[in-house]
């Protein structure tokens, strides 16, 4: 029987929280998985590039241009163990994003989602910020597809940070009858936080779906690399602005923060069944569906 919704646990990760080894990383992640599962969460969501925390124990002389490759190699050891912990706990885990090699020397910013009862899925970030394409910094490449998948009776999709700012994706996802969009993010300034979270709220309206977004907060501590920006993050779950759903479109929302809180942010029983019923029945107050504007001409004067 389809449940009325899913319970989400959102973890605002502090990239400067001390870790000295992969074993310590795994211990922290397993503790968060256990906490979320004990509290009845269906899904635990981590932020974009949560793996930047690992650079604390990277080689001291590791050049900035090699950090992506190092994190990608580390992820090959850490993610399988984390996936196993989530499977044993009976919850799904959206493991933020990590660099992933699609071929030697070529990396994407990949969000892996692991499940207790099905094969994992992934999404490669579609649009990149300057530091991800800067030859003096990280150098990753764009993804070119969006994955839509079913779990526990609902249709989900993943977008990463700047992806949620691309309104051209809305008619694509609206045609897919998506119930929930999960968005790991990472932003350096309050303006970036407001763009990502504001656009997530807009996408919930456009898609007639729930959108959950979580970003890291804190200052990374990277061996041998003193010029590190801090991150402004938070967590939220947005709903369509329908009176039946509360009217204002906000289910859970933290303020922007420059330091991650200790615990998890919960969105209990996100009302996905009610949202789906509004979307499919035509009872929504105002919803244009998968309107894409392809028929509109521009009249220039």
Phi, psi of 217 (to 5 degrees): -145, 130
- Read off the pLDDT of residues 221-278 as tens digits, 9 standing for 90 and up: 886 666 567 899 999 999 999 999 999 999 999 999 999 998 999 999 999 999 999 9
> Quick one: which of 78, 82, 67 has its CA closest to 113?
82
Write down the pLDDT at residue 226.
60
Write down the pLDDT at residue 248.
97
Low-confidence ranges of the chain (pLDDT < 70): 223-228
- Coil, strand or helix at 25: helix
Are the C-beta atoms of 234 and 12 separated by less than 8 Å?
yes
- Whole-number Å distance between alpha carbons of 264 and 256: 15
Write down the pLDDT at residue 290.
85
Domain annotation for the chain: domains and CATH numbers? 6-281 (3.60.110.10)
| Cα dist from 258 to 100, 133, 189, 265, whole Å | 27, 25, 9, 16
> Quick one: which of 158, 151, 177, 161 has its CA closest to 42?
151
- Whole-number Å distance between alpha carbons of 121 and 158: 9
Write down the pLDDT at residue 222.
80
């Amino acid at each position: 029987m389809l449940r009325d919704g899913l319970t989400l646990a959102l973890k605002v990760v502090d990239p400067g929280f001390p870790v000295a080894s992969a074993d310590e990383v795994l211990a922290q992640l397993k503790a968060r998985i256990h906490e979320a599962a004990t509290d009845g969460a269906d899904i635990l969501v981590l932020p974009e590039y949560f793996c930047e925390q690992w650079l604390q124990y990277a080689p001291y002389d590791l050049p900035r241009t090699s950090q992506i490759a190092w994190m990608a190699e580390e992820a090959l050891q850490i993610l399988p163990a984390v996936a196993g912990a989530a499977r044993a706990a009976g919850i799904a885990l959206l493991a933020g994003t990590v660099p992933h090699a699609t071929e030697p020397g070529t990396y994407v910013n990949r969000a892996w989602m692991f499940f207790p009862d099905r094969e994992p899925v992934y999404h490669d970030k579609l649009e990149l910020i300057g530091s991800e394409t800067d030859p003096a910094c990280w150098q990753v490449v764009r993804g070119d597809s969006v994955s839509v998948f079913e779990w526990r009776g609902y249709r989900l999709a993943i977008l990463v940070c700047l992806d949620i700012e691309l309104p051209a994706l809305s008619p694509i996802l609206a045609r897919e009858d998506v119930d929930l969009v999960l968005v790991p993010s990472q932003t350096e300034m309050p303006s970036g936080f407001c763009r990502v979270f504001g656009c997530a709220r807009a996408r919930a309206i456009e898609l007639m779906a729930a959108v959950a977004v979580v970003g890291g907060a804190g200052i990374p501590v990277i061996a041998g690399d003193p010029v590190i920006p801090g991150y402004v993050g938070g967590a939220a779950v947005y709903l369509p602005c329908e009176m039946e759903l509360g009217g204002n479109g906000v289910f859970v929302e933290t303020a922007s923060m420059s330091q991650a809180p200790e615990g998890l942010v919960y969105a209990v029983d996100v009302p996905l069944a009610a949202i789906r019923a509004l979307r499919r029945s035509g009872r929504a107050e105002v919803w244009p569906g998968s309107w894409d504007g392809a028929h509109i001409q521009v009249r220039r004067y």
